[in-house]
Amino acid sequence: MNKLKSCFLSAVFALMLQAPLFAQGTVVDYYGQLSVKGNYIMSQYGDTVQLRGMSLFWSQWMGQYYTPEAIKWLRDDWKCTVVRAAMGVESGGYLTNPDAEKAKVIKVVDAAIALGIYVIIDYHSHEAHTNPEPAKKFFSEMAEKYGKYPNVFYEIYNEPLKEPNWSKDLKPYADTIIKAIRQYDPDNIVIVGTRQWSQMVNEAAQDKIKDPNTVYTLHYYATTHRKWLRDEAKRAMDNGIALFVSEYGTCEASGDGKLEYKETQLWYDFMDKYKISWCNWSVADKEETSAALKPGASGTGGWTDEQITESGKVVKKELLLKNTPIFALQRKPVKKAKAPKENKKK
């Protein structure tokens, strides 16, 4: 009898130790369905949301990191609340091998949903508006597949080049792709690229997309893009749009060169002030400054300090400092799938 009682008490004690895990839920449980209001991304419960995480590298060149294990490591060890799957489009990417590149993205999105973090489906292109049909097809498929999950963002155009016109070229492309997405997903947030490698956000702010759950992409590299680009961002926000820094680097715009500590911190301060979400470029072991990992780092996580680059250490420190408290927040978990809606296919 005493032995039975002892076993019972041990089982109860074990459950008590696990109880906080069940009560806490996940980041997506905490924030739920996101939406856009003015300059901000808002949670399902009215909180202002600032997500911070990592972007994967071009899928066709660094596909080894498109694994559930790597995504789990980024959540657990780096405290990422969002990851970005940068599906390469040109240069041997989706246009050449659609099934293979799409499969990599699906693997990342499925992992993020299972782990309870947010994920950006990024159409990583510099010329998408010149060939919109593949993008339309891709995002229709992604929206039909993932539209019921609150985890997903759709980044429909990574970095338009300098030459296109916002109102004549880029906005019509965005309207077309957003319409394709909204056939299946009426409310997950769309991230729209802006002219000149996603820097000219104030142009977009003066001719806004009508879709209410749209944010605009601002990309910077700290050594190259300084106060002038922060001023451009502030003008855009003053004109009423929300920004998402879906890609940034601590170095020069080439992805290489000098790591600029002071400007990196100034950008962190700016994004914190205005609650701008961000993803760092990138989870890669390429021999360049912006890569977070040193050559040979595993595709399944488990990276030691010796395997993380100087840029990776700077970014990871910021993630741990700012995101660790988020993982300690508690709220009753929400359903992972949104309620069915009439304009969605079942």
In this predicted structure, what is the pLDDT of residue 329?
Answer: 86
38 lies in a domain?
no
List, for residues 312-323, the tens digit of each pLDDT value: 999 999 999 999
- Owning domain of residue 320: 44-327
In this predicted structure, what is the pLDDT of residue 305?
Answer: 97
Q: Nearest-CA neighbor of 108 among 121, 99, 95, 98?
A: 121
In this predicted structure, what is the pLDDT of residue 13?
Answer: 29
Handedness of CA 330, 112, 267, 228 (dihedral sign): negative
200 lies in a domain?
yes
Give the residues of the chain that fall short of pLDDT 50.
Answer: 1-23, 336, 339-346
Cα separation of 225 and 247, whole Å? 13
Catalytic annotation, residues: 159, 247
314 lies in a domain?
yes
Q: Look up residue 57 and give its DSSP letter.
A: P
In this predicted structure, what is the pLDDT of residue 335?
Answer: 53
Query: Is the bond leading into 91 cis (omega within 30 degrees of zero)?
Result: no
List, for residues 255-285, the tens digit of each pLDDT value: 999 999 999 999 999 999 999 999 999 999 9
Tally the domains of the chain.
Answer: 1
343 lies in a domain?
no
Three-state DSSP state, 60: coil
In this predicted structure, what is the pLDDT of residue 332?
Answer: 56
Residue with tokens 């099934």: 99
Two tokens, residue 62: 């660094």
Handedness of CA 104, 109, 115, 119 (dihedral sign): positive
Cα separation of 130 and 149, whole Å? 30
In this predicted structure, what is the pLDDT of residue 25?
Answer: 86
Q: Nearest-CA neighbor of 292 among 282, 301, 302, 300?
A: 282
Taken as a whole, the chain contains a residue count of: 346
The CATH number covering residue 277 comes to 3.20.20.80
In this predicted structure, what is the pLDDT of residue 336?
Answer: 46
Q: In whole angstroms, how far apart are CA 158 and each of 10, 84, 292, 330? A: 53, 11, 20, 34
36 lies in a domain?
no
What lies within 8 Å, CB to CB, of 25 at 6+ separation is: 116, 330, 331, 332, 333
Global pTM reads 0.90
184 lies in a domain?
yes
28 lies in a domain?
no
132 lies in a domain?
yes
In this predicted structure, what is the pLDDT of residue 345?
Answer: 40
